[in-house]
Chains A and B, each alone.
Chain A
Amino acid sequence: MSLIYTLRLADDALILGHRISEWTGHGPILEQDIAITNTALDHLGRARSLYQYAAELFNQLPDAQKTSAFTSVAINALVAAGTPVDEDDLAYLRDSGDFRNLLLTEQPNGDWACTIARSFYYDAFHYFYFSALQHSSNAALAAIAAKSLKETTYHLRWSSEWVIRLGDGTEESHSRMQQAIDNMWMYTGEMLTMSAAEQEALAAGYGVDIAQIAPLWQNRVKEILDEATLSLPSGTWMQQGGKDGIHSENMGFILAEMQFLQRAYPGMEW
């Protein structure tokens, strides 16, 4: 159902946005601190639009489907009480197993090169992904994709330039960038593999054919790595699981930090 498809995109945006926001106040230079914080806000803005739409989809479901959609106790308590859910409930009241973001998005920031490599792989894929999704038969998803494409075009330009700058820079920046590109590589396979929800979305006409995007992504990555004098990783083993809610231990720490306040003081606003 389109709820799972929408939530997956929202979870990607929220978790990557949260990770990137951890740089706020810690950027390598004031100007780049502002740049990466702007990017975090783009991701969080996208997460909000998608969660709002997902909440709308969820609230329209028949009761039986509502109670079986999530495994998290906190959100199921709301559902049992008959309360409609909103964007905040979806972000703050679900546990790790109900999140379907890519494992790539939850990887720790590491050094600057590591953050850049994670964003570069993600941006290069989503540039082509949103280019396709903006023609979705689902008007809400198409509109969110069209807006996201403009942001992602800039994100990709920014992350690509950093890959090139560090790769084709000093001996140290080159080796750190290569290390980061190699370390993140095993989390890219999941992006290129369609989950059941994504296959269903494609068949129903509102999804995107990832098989067509994969070669575009590979070409773009190779092109930028060539320019950066970096080698394309050759590993073929890929870590999977995020799209099915099976996450690394990182996810628990992210959610603990992000959700603590709403769990300890439900409904708290400030």
Chain B
Amino acid sequence: MSQQNKNEWPLWEVFIRSKAGLDHKHAGSLHAADAQMAIENARDVYTRRMEGVSIWVVESKHIRASDPGEAASLYEPATDKIYRHPTFYDLPDEVKYM
């Protein structure tokens, strides 16, 4: 297994900005030998139907993910704190687009 991994190109996570002013969003992942090739592969795999104007890549091994086993302690305490949503204010009619 480790021998097989040694012969494979590393995995990269790809983030695409669909147009100027918007955020880069995770689009998927792909294999590439280096960062430059990762950007070019991303261009060919993820922007060939005009999906983007900017690409970020980061090697997947650099991503730290939260532990699903800790979901109860990390996320559930927020479920009964609906007052954190700013929905308890009366907005004057003059304020638009909120």
Interface residues in chain A, defined as those with a beta carbon under 8 Å from any beta carbon in chain B: 29-32, 34-35, 38, 157-158, 161, 165
Asked if A158 and B40 sit within 8 Å, CB to CB, the answer is: yes
CB contacts between A and B, total, < 8 Å = 26
Nearest B residue to A39 via CB reads B44
Asked if B44 and A34 sit within 8 Å, CB to CB, the answer is: yes
Give min CB distance, B65 to chain A, whole Å: 23
Nearest A residue to B12 via CB reads A31
**5 more CB-based (< 8 A) A-B contacts, given A31-B45, A34-B48:** A29-B31, A31-B30, A34-B41, A35-B41, A35-B44
Interface residues in chain B, defined as those with a beta carbon under 8 Å from any beta carbon in chain A: 9, 30-33, 36-37, 40-41, 44-45, 48
Asked if A34 and B45 sit within 8 Å, CB to CB, the answer is: yes
Asked if A165 and B48 sit within 8 Å, CB to CB, the answer is: no
For the complex, give the distance between the alpha carbons of A29 and B9 in Å: 10
Give me the 3 closest cross-chain CB pairs, A-B, nearest first. Answer: A31-B41, A35-B44, A34-B44
Give min CB distance, B61 to chain A, whole Å: 18
Give min CB distance, A119 to chain B, whole Å: 14
- Chain B residues, CB < 8 A from A158: 40
Give min CB distance, A152 to chain B, whole Å: 15
- Chain A residues, CB < 8 A from B36: 161
Give min CB distance, A73 to chain B, whole Å: 39
Asked if B31 and A31 sit within 8 Å, CB to CB, the answer is: yes
